Copies of this chain bind each other. A is one copy, B any other.
């Protein structure tokens, strides 16, 4: 029986990965991290989607990451800006932490497959979304626990357009109604922040209507 653990934020990408994993593995579990993120409404969304898909889902307390890092996703007084090479929304070490914690959980559950929705095509300047990082992390995790993890990142080389098309091919576009993307944590989504913009661009290019409600598009 092939088991997988999905690192699941409740966003578009990790929801697509969840659906992907349910088709690929015999048993799928999901974990969501609570790091007191600005857009922590995504945790509510993750719970809802896990319930709809009947997936065992655990929310992990990772508030230490909030306390340890100061950036636009962990501090409301830091402006969300994507003008520089490194956006103000970069949480240093976030994927390193989340995927390592996923490894610790998976190890204890006897799960060897870890699925994450990282993507270097639209990587937005985040170094920890790139394939070189994921490959290196897989090796590090295996050495750390003397275990045989495989990291799966089905969206790594897809554009946002192709990620939308993947969900269309899965017949799951409507599930994206429940996902969360907006950096400001708004529902309806703001439609204007860099995360909303990127999402909307993908739907537009795919010629598919985003089922998510927006304040303005």
Q: Which A residues form the contact surface with B (CB < 8 A)? A: 60-62, 64-65, 67-70, 86, 92-93, 95-97, 100-101, 103-105, 107-108, 127-128, 130, 132-133, 136-137, 139-141, 143-146
Provide 10 A-B residue pairs closer than 8 Å at the C-beta atoms, listed in order of the A residue.
A64-B64, A65-B104, A68-B104, A93-B104, A95-B144, A96-B100, A96-B145, A100-B100, A133-B144, A139-B140
Contact between chains at A128 and B100 (CB < 8 Å): no
Q: Closest CB-CB distance, A65 to chain B, in whole Å?
A: 8
In the complex, chain B residues whose CB is within 8 Å of the CB of A70: 108
Cβ-defined contact, A140 with B136, below 8 A: yes
Contacts of A105 in B (CB 8 A): 68
**CB pair B133 A140 closer than 8 Å:** yes
Chain B min CB distance to A59 (Å): 12
| Assembled-state Cα–Cα distance A207/B145 (Å) | 35
- Assess the A96–B144 pair: CB atoms within 8 A: yes
Contact partner of A69 (CB less than 8 A), chosen from B65, B93, B108, B143, is B108
Nearest 5 Cβ contacts at the A-B interface? A93-B104, A127-B146, A133-B143, A96-B144, A136-B140
Pairwise interchain contact B140-A96, C-beta atoms closer than 8 A: yes
Please, which residues of chain B bring their CB within 8 A of the CB of A103? 93, 96
Minimum CB–CB distance from A157 to chain B (whole Å) comes to 17
Residues of B within 8 A of A101 (CB): 64, 68, 93, 97
Q: Smallest Cβ distance from A149 to chain B, in angstroms?
A: 11
Q: Are A69 and B104 in contact (CB under 8 A)?
A: yes
Contact A141 B61 (CB under 8 A): no
A92 adjacent to B69 (CB under 8 Å)? no
